Structure 1
Amino acid sequence: MSKIRIVTDSTADIPLSVRQELIIEMVPLKIHFGSEEYLDAVTLQSDQFYEKLRTSTHFPRTSQPSPAEFLDLYRKLLEGPDTEIISIHLSSALSGTYQSALLASTMLEEDEGKVHVVDSRSASYGIGALVVAAAKAAMEGQSTEQILQLVRSMRENFYIYFLVDTLEFLQKGGRIGKASALFGSLLNIKPILSIDAEGEVAAIEKVRGHKKAIARILELLAADLAGGGIHTLHIAHANNLEGAEQLREVILQHFAVQHADYIALGPVIGAHAGPGTIAAFVSKV
């Protein structure tokens, strides 16, 4: 096992099988329906969440892990000789999760400097792609600085576009960010959203109709990629596999893609994006 351990949080939406294969540690956020509390991706999985969302009379709320939860995990991992930790988390503009992890790292007086906390400036598989790449690099024997440089480079060459059925969930969850100007839109207007360089939800533009929105995402990707291909494509969805399949097929028809896969948006991300959301997470060659 590598002496560099990789830690993330549940909003990275990394499948359990991948986390197990790459020995990625995960600290869950919490999700609340009224007085009921669940651990994201631990005691509440995606399919269970969307069913509960459909039937519950309560709007879901989410909360971040405490510094103590990160501290307990860091101490456990640092029991190994010469161990270092790279901890990659949900955008600090969207949650206090990064700050909790950072605070925990400062409480390790006897292991000062051994935990490197990274703000992904992203969400869902925008985090997950960085974490998976870091874990693979650690297994290959790369150094801490090499892995951190890889993460920084990927973060600057990563593109996210997503379509939501409604802005209600982002607004009620307080994550509307720079997309607030989209309120009051006419019927059938589909907002194309992204996450900007500061890690905030941002509106790209409003398009009338689903097909036109998909076509516009293709145009935006073409400009981003500047004639190049796609190294990895992850299509994510919030209980909308049909929409995800449509988006995947259209992208595959227009770009050379080395690797493509599906990701289910987990409970915490789904609570803010809302059911029906589809998203493209793109890392260029």
Structure 2
Amino acid sequence: MQTVNPYVIITDATADLPADMAAELGVTVIPMEFQLSDQTYEHFADAHVISIPDVYNRLRNGELASTSQINTFTYTQYFEPFFQEGKDILYIAFSSGLSGTQQAAVIAANDLLEKYPERKFSCVDSLCASMGEGLLVYTAAKKKENGLSFDELNQWLLDNRLHLCHWFTVDDLNHLKRGGRISGATAAIGSILNIKPVMHVDDEGHLIAVSKVRGRKKSLLSLVEHMEQTYSPDQNDIIFIGHGDSLEDAEFVRDLVQEKFGISNILISYIGPVIGAHSGPGTIALFFFGSQR
């Protein structure tokens, strides 16, 4: 009879999973660094270093933010104790289309596997971001609880990651401008005309602008309209909605989703500062499993 080795699921702070949910699922979340006005902070799932509302307030006041990738030393610190305990690691990484973080994870793990050759490691490129990555991790952890083996869950992730749909809009175009996502001219004209972009994450894990609408309410309605086009009822037992310190708008989208789809299990939570540094205050994002992205 084949021995099934115990394994753990690890992800990074860009997944924006609430700390209590991650703990309940037994998921380890590796913190990520961001810079705010030249000071560096570590963002943990419980945001104990600096609160997420504080970060958004400082962004509203004009402070500039940037982010850093997780380095190999940090990965080694988090991975090695599990290998020492005889556990294999399934790491679900932030989209390679948005960051090179997963490359550092693979380098760290390969070095450790020379020391622990009996262990198994897989780095799954989620091709997801924020709570889209979080919903993929949440669903994977639930499947692990239901008995999926390391190899089975690894394959499920590869087969299903492109069914994780991300639809979001931002309130202030200047944050996308600073991150190089749009030009200064586009940001200036869009702000004058009250243009709100509707965006998603494509099959390569890149951030893509899909359409532009005039006005905040129309942009929020558009998120749910896109959900209607691909939503798969049998794949969703929970829907995630993320917000950049804009709870009232997140609740507006939640109410629309409940009305149109009859879904009661909806998690609303913050988009953390690592993603929020680029999308800015007022970002609203809707995540669910669909027939395609």
Kindly tell me the number of residue pairs found equivalent between the two proteins. 280
Q: Which residue of 2 aligns with 1:11?
A: 14
Counterpart-to-counterpart distance in 1, 2:266 and 2:184? 32
How large is the RMSD of aligned CA atoms in angstroms? Answer: 2.4
Aligned mate of 2:85, from 73, 76, 80:
80
Distance 1:182 1:234, change over 3 A: farther
Contact 1:229 1:256 in 2 (8 A): no
Q: Which residue of 2 aligns with 1:158?
A: 164
User: Matched residues, percent identical?
Assistant: 33
Q: Which residue of 2 aligns with 1:62?
A: 67
2:241 is paired with a residue whose SS is strand
- After superposing the two structures, state which structure 1 stretch, 179-188 or 217-226, moved more: 179-188
Counterpart-to-counterpart distance in 2, 1:180 and 1:139? 48
Q: Which residue of 2 aligns with 1:213?
A: 219
Distance 1:140 1:146, change over 3 A: same
Contact 1:232 1:283 in 2 (8 A): no
Counterpart-to-counterpart distance in 2, 1:86 and 1:258? 30
2:41 is paired with a residue whose SS is strand
- Offset at 1:167? 2.5
Aligned mate of 2:207, from 183, 196, 201:
201
Counterpart-to-counterpart distance in 2, 1:111 and 1:161? 41
Q: Which residue of 2 aligns with 1:99?
A: 103
Q: Which residue of 1 aligns with 2:194?
A: 188
Q: Which residue of 1 aligns with 2:260?
A: 254
Question: Deviation string for 1:31-82 (max 9, x for gaps)?
Answer: 1123321101341231221233244x6401111110111012111111112x
- After superposing the two structures, state which structure 1 stretch, 163-172 or 15-24, moved more: 163-172
Counterpart-to-counterpart distance in 1, 2:130 and 2:82? 24
Counterpart-to-counterpart distance in 2, 1:94 and 1:180? 21
Contact 1:84 1:115 in 2 (8 A): yes
- Offset at 1:230? 4.5
Aligned mate of 2:43, from 40, 45, 58:
40
- Offset at 1:170? 2.4
- After superposing the two structures, state which structure 1 stretch, 98-107 or 130-139, moved more: 130-139
Q: Which residue of 2 aligns with 1:20?
A: 23
2:237 is paired with a residue whose SS is strand
1:217 is paired with a residue whose SS is helix
Contact 1:229 1:257 in 2 (8 A): no
Counterpart-to-counterpart distance in 2, 1:100 and 1:168? 30
Counterpart-to-counterpart distance in 2, 1:145 and 1:84? 11
Counterpart-to-counterpart distance in 2, 1:19 and 1:87? 14
Distance 1:188 1:228, change over 3 A: farther
Counterpart-to-counterpart distance in 2, 1:204 and 1:181? 18
AA partner of residue 76 (structure 1)? P
Contact 1:230 1:258 in 2 (8 A): no
Counterpart-to-counterpart distance in 2, 1:10 and 1:272? 15
Counterpart-to-counterpart distance in 2, 1:229 and 1:187? 38
Counterpart-to-counterpart distance in 1, 2:282 and 2:221? 18
Question: Deviation string for 1:113-150 (max 9, x for gaps)?
Answer: 61101111111111111112222223333211111122
Contact 2:231 2:288 in 1 (8 A): no
Distance 1:181 1:218, change over 3 A: farther
Question: Which stretches of structure 1, 4 residues or more, deviate above 6 A after TM superposition?
Answer: 226-229
Counterpart-to-counterpart distance in 2, 1:227 and 1:8? 26
Contact 1:218 1:251 in 2 (8 A): yes
Counterpart-to-counterpart distance in 2, 1:206 and 1:30? 32
Counterpart-to-counterpart distance in 2, 1:216 and 1:18? 29
Structure 2 unmatched ranges of 5 or more: none
Distance 1:35 1:182, change over 3 A: closer
